[in-house]
Amino acid sequence: MASPAPALSFDRTFLPQTGEPVVLAEGITRITAPNASAYTFTGTNSFLLGHERLALVDPGPDDAAHMAALLRAIAGRPVAAIILTHTHRDHSALAARLGRTLDAPLWFGGRHRLSRPLRRFERNPIRRSCDWDLVPDRTLVDGESITAGDMAASVHTTPGHCANHLAFAIGSDLLSGDHVMGWNSTLVSVPDGSMADYFASLDKVIALPQRRYLPAHGGPIADGRAYATALRAHRQLRNAQVIAAVEAGASSIAALVAAIYPDQPLPVRLAARMTITAHVEYLESLGQLTVRRGPFGTRIMK
């Protein structure tokens, strides 16, 4: 008999020390940006990798104070590359300007793209949060080994939160971006993201040897693989809740959100609407739900 998945427990006790360099391991330093919000928690974590020669992962928002904090932490050392986990603007908006300042190329998983084409009458609800115009100087691909500053790292494609999301393995640590975060479950908003891809990427990182995860929001996850396993079970539970609500009579996204998140505040309900839509699309792809879409809304049936 398979062991039950560990219970999912979010950790919101993280103290970001905003703007200050925090050494997490030999050659890995975190600087948290001052862009705290309901969607970014305490702010975006930027990471400096290396010793005498550096790489910068996720420079974050286009914020003058954060740029000054990064430059202080870099302290005149050469930056070989600015690397992105993905091209949502809370991670990437500063990349082009900082790249010019540091004369550093941009490395990431290709231009921002949707996980699937837009349907008729459909709009991408997070389109303004995406960095559509940013072009990589080097497109990173799955499984390749790179030198990040003077550190060895391996690249792992982890689509789901968005199509070009990457994670980076450095020794026993995994820079997990927004794919796995300890403070909350990850927003998956179709068509920018994909729940099917998200499940596959969870399986992928669980199979990697790296134990500690360093996410782009919030603090380190000591046992990342166990946490990702619990996160996967949480998403499967949400699938079951969606099916149960449809069987009980919910036939729209709004009705599903009301049934599953009855007492949550507005920001949570807005995020929930996007993620529930992704769950419905995933269950439709498995043949477990039938969905009728039109200009006036969506009807969901078992």
Higher local confidence (pLDDT), 294 or 33? 33
pLDDT of 48-102, one tens digit each? 999 999 999 999 999 999 999 999 999 999 999 999 999 999 999 999 999 999 9
As a whole number, the mean pLDDT across the chain is 95
For domain 22-232, give its CATH number from 3.60.15.10, 3.30.450.20, 3.40.50.720, 3.30.830.10.
3.60.15.10
Q: String of b and e for 161-179 (b: at least 16 CB within 10 Å)?
A: bbbbbbbbbbeebbbbbbb
pLDDT, tens digit, 9 for 90 and up, residues 231-268? 999 999 999 999 999 999 999 999 999 999 988 887 78
- Residue ranges per domain, the chain? 22-232, 235-301
Fold type of domain 235-301: Arc Repressor Mutant, subunit A (1.10.10)
- For the range 220-229, what are the long-range contacts, defined as Cβ-Cβ under 8 Å and sequence gap of 24 or more? 220/24, 220/182, 221/11, 221/176, 221/180, 221/181, 221/182, 224/174, 224/176, 224/180, 226/6, 227/6, 227/8, 227/180, 227/182, 228/180, 228/202, 229/5, 229/6
Token digits for 291? 């969905």
Please give the pLDDT value at position 287.
Answer: 97
Closest to 122 (Cα-Cα) out of 293, 246, 302: 293
Does the pLDDT of residue 129 top 90, yes or no? yes
pTM for this model (two decimals): 0.95
